[in-house]
Every structure is written in C-alpha cells, then in structure tokens.
Structure 1
Amino acid sequence: MATSGRADAGFSLVEVLVSIAVLSVGLLGSIGMLLTAVRTGKEAATFAAAVNLARDLSEKVRMNPGVAARTDAANTYLVASWTADGDASADAGGECTAAACNPQSLAAWDMNEWKRRVAKALPGARLSVCFDDKPWNASVGEYEWACSQSGSSVVVKLGWVPHADAANAKHNGEPQRERPPRLVMQLVSG
C-alpha cells in the first residue's frame, strides 16, 4: 500500500465552528462597548445641559440682585420643590419680552421660562432653588434635597432620571426611587 508523503490540507468542520464562535463572542463584546459608549455620551450631554441651565440661572439671578438677595416670598427665584411632570408652570410672570418689567415680574418671568427649558432638556426633571449653607450630607455621602434655609448662599439643585432608567421605568411601570440631586451649584455666594 502506497502512502502519500503529503499531509491532508484544509480545515475540519470543528475548527471552522470554533473560529465562528470566537468571532461571535468578539463581535458581541464590541457591540456591548458601543452601546455603553452611546449611553455614556447621552448622559454626558444631559449633564452638560444641566450645567448650562444652572449657569444660565446664575446669570439671571446676578442680574437681578434686589430680588435674589431677599429671604422672603418676594424672592421669586426661590423654588421649594418642582418637578417637570407635575407643573406646566405657565402662570406666573406675565410677559417681559416686549414691555418693561419691574424686578419682581422679571424674576417670575425668568423662572417660568427657565423651568420650561429645564423640563425640555432633562428627563423627569426635579429642581429646588433655596438658601442652603450645607447642601452636602456628610453622613450619607451625597447631596440632599432638603434646604437649611439659612446662610446667604443661594443654590440650585437639579435632578433628573438617567436615560436608561427612564426607558426601563416606561416598560416596567415601576415608580422611580427617590434620587439625590445630580447637580448642586451655588448661584449667589454668601
């Protein structure tokens, strides 16, 4: 019996199946990384929008110091607690684009317009603008919604539902848990 000196060339079916399985795992991993990058990019854009909104409110408050420095109900920049779903907030402030407004009316109009922008930019938005000398709760290690109503620093506290959580809540029908503010920024220093 004559044997050939040359070895059989080619791939077996098992080798091909193993290489397809390894390639599939690699592709699934890269798709997972791509989805994470998109989600992270969305959250970064939302956080940047929140910072820009807080900066915008800071500029409005600093342009109207007579109202912003008040600690009573005449300071219409102060908001105890506001959520985007529970308040359309189209009532206070009147119209200050065409006519001259007094400082009080201007502050109410500024807040009305600013709340609309917050509701549009931040999913499930929640905000508080108050006098708070210690917004950080060291015992828990996070910011808190409650305001001390003391000190001379006016802060804005913004919270929103992360995009992934908002999508999950729509599908599951479960209420969102109480989250701490995601952004706390000093508007007027004391």
Structure 2
Amino acid sequence: MHVNTIRHTRARRQQGLTLLESLVAIVVLALGVLGMLGVQMRTLAETQTGVRRAQAVRLIEDLSERIKSNPRGLDQLEDYVADWDATVAAATDCTSAACTPAQLAAWDLKAWRDSVAETLPLGQAATFASSDTDEDGARRLLGVMVGWRVNERETDADSTDYTKHFSVGTTTQTCPQGLICHLVYIQP
C-alpha cells in the first residue's frame, strides 16, 4: 500500500506540472501575439504615411497642371502664393465664365486648396515664391508645401524630419504643429 501512495502522489505532482507548463506556454504565446500586433500596427501607420505622401504628390502635380493650363500662369507665379492660414476667395466661377489669368489663378488656387482639405486628414497647404530669380528678375520657383495630420503612432523623435522647417536658398517654410509636411518646388 505504501508503494501505491507514492505512485498516486507522483501522479498528482505530474498533473500539477503539466498544468503549470500549459499556463507558461499560454503566457509566452500571448506575449508573442501582442508583439506581432505591435509590429502590425506600426506597419499600418507607416503604410498610411506613404499613402498620404502619394496623395500629397498627386495634389501638387494637380496644382502644377493648373498653373500650366493658365495662359499667363507661369509668368505670374505670385498670383498662386498663399500662406497656411490665408483665405483664398475666387470672385468668379471660371468653370462657366471667361476669366482673366489673375482670376483663373485665384479660382485654381481656391479649388486646389479645397481639394487638399478634402483629400488629406486636416489637409492644409501653403504656396510661396522662392527667393531665386532669373536674369529678368522673375521668380524661378513656386514652393508648394502640403501638410496633413500626424498619425497617432508617429509622435516619437523619428517623425520630426517631416514636421520641422524646410530651407532652400534664403526661403524658409515651417510645417505647422501637429502636421507632417511634404515640400515640392514647381519650376516654370
């Protein structure tokens, strides 16, 4: 009988070890799954940033095409200049009425900025004339900066590359707080 008791006690201990091993395995598995979820969330945030950047590039290309389609657009880049918080008002609807090149520039700029606001989350844009001029004194470049809301996961120090100021020549533009910006210079 004594031998039976020892075997029964060993069997109970073995059952307890199996349960403990199972719990440890479940904890390890849960930590692995949480780690994979963290990597997946970071990848999703980076993908969203890439998509937003591609949308910004397309929007800037749209403005460039609008300027090129304006008969005097390349000669009058100053008509396309607007700061971040500037209210652009187009007095004439150029889709149904004949417009002067200056009116068309105002119409294009308003329509384009509305498109930026609709396409990107908290989308904003600033356009500015660069300090570079050609031999006739005309501006050579139009700077276009498009900004959108920073992803919640991009609040670390790595994301500051796209949220600080940009400088080319003597022209400096600052990205507004809480936005990621993309800057392109349009050359006539």
In the other structure, the counterpart of 1:164 is 152
In the other structure, the counterpart of 2:185 is 186
In the other structure, the counterpart of 2:74 is 68
- How many residues were matched structurally? 155
Which protein has the bigger helix share? 2
Superposed structure 1 runs of 4+ greater than 6 Å apart: none
Structure label with greater radius of gyration? 2
Query: Which residue of 116, 119, 140 maps to 2:117?
Result: 119
Q: Verify: 1:97 aligned to 2:95, yes or no.
A: yes
- Residue deviations 1:88-108 (CA, integer Å, cap 9, x gap): x4x324211122222221111
- Residue deviations 1:58-87 (CA, integer Å, cap 9, x gap): 11112225233236xxx32111x124xx74
**Alpha-carbon distance in 1 for matches of 2:138, 2:44:** 41
Query: Cα RMSD over matched residues?
Result: 3.1
In the other structure, the counterpart of 1:171 is none
- The 8 Å contact of residues 142 and 187 in structure 2, kept in 1 or not, is answered as yes
**Alpha-carbon distance in 1 for matches of 2:138, 2:76:** 12
What are the residue-to-residue correspondences of 1:141-160 with 2, within 5 Å?
A: 151-160=139-148
**Alpha-carbon distance in 2 for matches of 1:108, 1:93:** 8
TM-score, normalization: structure 1? 0.67
**Alpha-carbon distance in 1 for matches of 2:20, 2:131:** 69
- The 8 Å contact of residues 122 and 148 in structure 2, kept in 1 or not, is answered as yes
Q: Verify: 1:45 aligned to 2:33, yes or no.
A: no
Q: Which runs of 5+ in 2 are unaligned?
A: 156-162, 166-174, 176-180
> Which amino acid in 1 is paired with 2:143?
V
Query: Which residue of 14, 20, 24 maps to 1:14?
Result: 20
**Alpha-carbon distance in 2 for matches of 1:66, 1:165:** 44
In the other structure, the counterpart of 1:82 is 84
- Displacement of 1:125: 3.4
> Which amino acid in 2 is paired with 1:183?
H
1:185–1:32 Cα change, 3 Å: same
Larger displacement relative to structure 2 (99-108 or 22-31): 99-108
Q: Secondary structure at the match of 1:185?
A: strand
TM-score, normalization: structure 2? 0.68
- The 8 Å contact of residues 132 and 150 in structure 1, kept in 2 or not, is answered as no
* Larger relative contact order (Cα-Cα within 8 Å, sequence gap ≥ 6): 1
